[in-house]
Amino acid sequence: MASAETPTSPIREHVLANGLKVLVKEVRTAPLVSVWCWYRVGSADEGPGVTGVSHWCEHMNFKGTTNIPRDQVKGIIEQHGGFWNGYTFLDQTTYVETASTEAFEKMLFIEAERMAGCLYHPDDCESERTVIISELQGGENDPEQLLDQELTAAAFRAHPYRNPVIGWEDDLRTMTRDDLYAHYRRHYRPNNATLVIVGDVDADEALARAEHHFGAIAPGPAARRVHTKEPEQVGERRVTVSREGTAAYLKVAFHAPAVTDPDFFPMLVLDAVLTGAKGLSLWASFRTPPPQRSARLYRALVDGGLASSVQGAMLPTRDPFLFMVSATLNDGADAATLERTLLAELDRVRQGGVTADELRRAKAQLRARLVFENNSVTNIGHQIGFFETVASWQFYDELLPGTQAVTLEQVAEVAATYLVATNRTIGWFEPVPEAADNAATDADAAGMANEGGLPDGSGDAGAGR
């Protein structure tokens, strides 16, 4: 799968007898190696009462194992000048170590221990409960993050994508150590995992070392990932969140195609036209602001003085998720005008598509971002493993040609299909000054609540929870 932009070796794939898929890519540009271990379990695999369990298990899996005391875990990699980390998202949980090549054996040892030997000591489970609830409450104090959570929950009625990755607070307060450990043992099995090795290694030797460390780990029952199909939305939904804050935020979300849908790449190009190209790496893309000066919504909203910032997100997911546009209301600007202008711009592209110049520029920007996402062994390892969890690792090789093949007609078609009023959910964060708390209470009693210039709620959904 080598390309002109990444002149490195092809990916070697091997599946161990226990079902563990091992993917190795030699990159000999520096004496570094990155090891990623991916599990096909995320917040979309959680049911009522245990939302957030995947993320909580991720935390627990840094607390030491049968053969690694918890106070020695960090030092194993750091003594080689490397780093390690992990994250949980909708469809996956992953762990990474990147360090000098001499640490390769120790990285494999750590991930094999994590797969089979985590302890889940009751005291650690309880201390981490406090940490995660604090993390959740901290996120709820971030207006944009809170609005995103409430908007997503309103946009989805049936699919578990409606639940926040961190979980709902009541579930976090009632889950037990046994709930956590059962989730760990059910999903942390070699036949539910992919090991990705990228860097200064010999592929044959890397596969042999993976067999040595992981080959004896017993597989588990085949994981069933059957999700309810989200019913078609039949009317605009709205959610308004009123909390202490200093700025108002607008978000508009449309149900959007899964990564393997033929409409995904045209939607990605449409997002680049509207808000600037971001790329497709959850690990790296959103750390660098997109080029926006020529983006339609930036020109209409930011240059137009209505918003201080505008953002878009079209994420690669296994099942259909959301295309979301966000804007921060400018000081002194009118909220209703911001919403009206944003929706008018979306209607313009829905009715008339994009121009040839916009398409050319969006494809060039996406090309640059996708190439840049391969600028390190860590980033390459992430992309190979991530796409294995939502599609297949071969899909990683389709990203660049897939975006470059998009036509004007395809962009116009997806805009007309997805950017319709009945497919959207609109959310506002309405700031309430701290000093006005008591006055707001009095206003509620007088029947004057929620008058702040923001659009009134309407449509087929209720207000934020």
Closest CA to 152 of 432, 426, 430: 426
**How does DSSP assign 334-356, residue by residue?**
-HHHHHHHHHHHHHHHHHH---H
Which residues does residue 431 pair with via DSSP β-bridges, in sequence order? 243
CB–CB of 35/108 below 8 Å? yes
**Which residues in the chain show pLDDT less than 70?**
1-8, 435-465
Query: In this predicted structure, what is the pLDDT of residue 330?
Result: 98
Query: In this predicted structure, what is the pLDDT of residue 9?
Result: 80
CA–CA gap between residue 363 and residue 372 (Å, rounded): 14
Query: In this predicted structure, what is the pLDDT of residue 435?
Result: 61
Domains of the chain: which residue ranges?
Answer: 11-214, 237-379+388-445
| pLDDT tens string 358-412 | 999 999 999 999 999 999 999 999 999 999 999 999 999 999 999 999 999 999 9
Apex 31 CA angle, 30 and 36, nearest 5 = 95
Closest CA to 251 of 366, 155, 136: 155
Q: CA torsion angle for 299, 305, 308, 310 (degrees, to 10)?
A: -30
H or E segment to which residue 432 belongs: strand 424-432
CA–CA gap between residue 449 and residue 446 (Å, rounded): 8
CB–CB of 154/427 below 8 Å? yes
pTM of the predicted protein model = 0.91
Which residues does residue 86 pair with via DSSP β-bridges, in sequence order? 95
CA–CA gap between residue 247 and residue 244 (Å, rounded): 9
Residues 6+ apart with CB under 8 A from 442: none
CATH number attached to the domain at 11-214: 3.30.830.10
CA–CA gap between residue 42 and residue 161 (Å, rounded): 10
Query: In this predicted structure, what is the pLDDT of residue 461?
Result: 29
| pLDDT tens string 23-39 | 999 999 999 999 999 99
CA–CA gap between residue 131 and residue 95 (Å, rounded): 19
Residue carrying structure tokens 């935020």: 249
* Fold designation for 237-379+388-445: Cytochrome Bc1 Complex; Chain A, domain 1 (3.30.830)
| 11-214 and 237-379+388-445 share one fold | yes
Query: In this predicted structure, what is the pLDDT of residue 113?
Result: 98
